[in-house]
Amino acid sequence: MDELKKELEHLGMTDKESRVYLAALEMGPSPVQDISHKAKVNRATTYVMIESLSARGLMSTFQKGKKRFYAAESPDRLLTIVEREQKILSEKQAEIMKALPMLETLYNAEGAKPQVRYLEGIEGLETTRATFERLSGEAIQIVPVDDVLAMEEGLHGRNVHLERLAKRGIKGRVLGVMKQLDRSKLPSIENVEVRLITHDSFPIHGEVGVRGNHVFLYSHKSSVLSLVIVSQEIADVIRALFDMAWAGVASNK
């Protein structure tokens, strides 16, 4: 029973709501005093819990003679409630995604100094990837391929990220740094040109990306660290340096 109570609490019920609901579910239609005794919740509070559960469609009441009985609805109602909440969340997500470009325009307005965000681990990496996907314009990246492939944590969700970029029709250029040049280790995305350069001539271990007025910096050496800089001036500087490096690397097959 304790395990069931914990599960109900994970669904949003309070401790006393879950106790009253489970008691009513087990007993069937019962007077409030019986439910109160079974749930080990005082009678006045049990009325409040029943009212709360009834508002969510989880309990109902009916009169029989001079007595009022209260009954728990079928557990199937819990699934219906979760599905309804999922639908509401999906609608909210769609509304946020629609408003996000305008909100980010306000958030990214150039001020006296660049905006800097520092994130760690897989969650931070997923956040920066989502930001990268939402931006528009050409994407440029310098990627230490061997380091990326060697870190399992950094590979988490990478294929899904690349699939979303491909679906959005991203256009870009990538400088891949490898000890031994091997294109078979690289994903292929239409409209993204890749040039390879040896690690000996370009010994870097950090990843750099630029899209719009965002600069993305990643470290893959010990753990995934992500840094996002929002500054048109800095983005233009990194883009110019990338163009210089790009021009100096032959287009290899």
pLDDT digits (tens, 9 = 90+) for 91-132: 888 888 777 766 766 665 555 577 888 888 888 888 888 899
Quick check: 74 pLDDT over 90? no
Contact (Cβ atoms closer than 8 angstroms) between residue 165 and residue 191:
no
Look up the pTM and report it. Answer: 0.56
Query: Residues with Cβ < 8 Å from 170, sequence gap 6 or more?
Result: 139, 189, 191, 192
> For position 139, what pLDDT does the model report?
94
> For position 148, what pLDDT does the model report?
84
User: What CATH number does domain 114-248 carry, 3.30.870.10, 3.40.50.2020, 1.10.760.10, 3.40.50.980?
Assistant: 3.30.870.10
Quick check: 181 pLDDT over 80? yes
Q: Does domain 2-73 bear CATH number 1.10.4190.10?
A: no
Amino acid at 137: G
Structure tokens at 36: 């109160």
> For position 42, what pLDDT does the model report?
93
